[in-house]
Amino acid sequence: MLGAVAFHLASGSPGGAFEVALLHYVMDGLLLDLLGTSIEAGFDPDDVVVAFVSRLVGGRRPMTREGGVVELTPMTAEEFARRREPLVRSYAEAMVVDRGLAPDAALDRATTQLREQLPDGVDSAGALLRTARVGDAEVGWIWVALPGGPAGAHTAWLNNVEVHPGHRRQGYGRRMIQLIEAELAALGVPELGLNVFGSNTGAIHLYHSLGYRVAAQQMTKRISPAG
């Protein structure tokens, strides 16, 4: 361990003996978990490492797992047009699985809700629609509603965060949320809330690791027809 501390300091890395010891402790635990059985289904050690290193480097710009810097830019009308239908289909499919709605009913509800929430697309009042890029590559997008809606006067709402299929499991979703939180903080927004379907265990673990906690919980049970 003393050799690791000396190397850490000589390389100019942030922190000191405590940070090095903590890093070794975390990495040893994650290695054992990867070699054995995960403590919890859906647990992603990679996300824990990214979060730990981001906190360790403090004020430096946190990198994603691949070393790229994620930046959020205002979504264009063309980008929104490309994402509208896939978003509706995705939300409708989730309502079929988690709420037991018939496919047609789920699609109608998803279409209506999106139209009500974003009546003017990217120009809709109170909507932050951002595209995530790493260099010239578009890696995902995020949508947050500012306070004043159903969530209340002080709470913004995370309506959607999506990483494109070719860029997943690289820490981009985490970084997008961190960046939108920073943007909200600059606007003086004190709280960000969200809903997540119970079947989306990966997202649930991500939100927990970012400090989100359950404030309310809905439960459902399918009842078999009589007779």
Q: Which tens digits make up the pLDDT trace of 1-20?
A: 456 556 555 655 555 666 66
Q: Is the dihedral of CA 48, 175, 133, 141 positive or negative?
A: positive
Give tens-digit pLDDT for 70-106: 999 999 999 999 999 999 999 999 889 888 889 999 9
> Which residues on adjacent β-strands are paired with residue 161?
142
> How do beta strands 127-134 and 70-74 pair?
antiparallel
Q: Which domains does the chain have, with CATH numbers?
A: 65-209 (3.40.630.30)
Task: Tell me what pLDDT residue 79 has.
Answer: 96
**Pairing relationship of beta strands 155-163 and 191-194 according to DSSP bridges:** parallel
Calculate the average pLDDT of the chain. Answer: 80
* Mean pLDDT, residues 182-197: 92
Lowest mean pLDDT among 59-63, 106-110, 167-171: 59-63
Is the dihedral angle over the CA atoms 127, 132, 133, 138 positive or is it negative? negative
Spacing of C-alpha 181 from chain mean position? 11
The pTM of this model reads 0.67
Q: What is the pLDDT of residues 20-69, one digit of tens each?
A: 666 666 666 555 555 544 444 444 555 555 555 555 544 445 455 555 78
Please, which contacts does 135-139 make with residues 24 or more away whose CB atoms are closer than 8 Å? 135/68, 137/167, 138/164, 139/70, 139/163, 139/164, 139/167, 139/170, 139/172
Q: Environment class of residue 2 by beta-carbon count within 10 Å: exposed (0-12), middle (13-18) or buried (19+)?
A: exposed
Distance in angstroms (rounded) separating the CA atoms of residues 191 and 92: 27
- Residue 129 and residue 219: Cα distance in Å, rounded? 30
Q: What angle do CA 133, 138, 139 make, to 5 degrees?
A: 80
pLDDT recorded at residue 75: 97
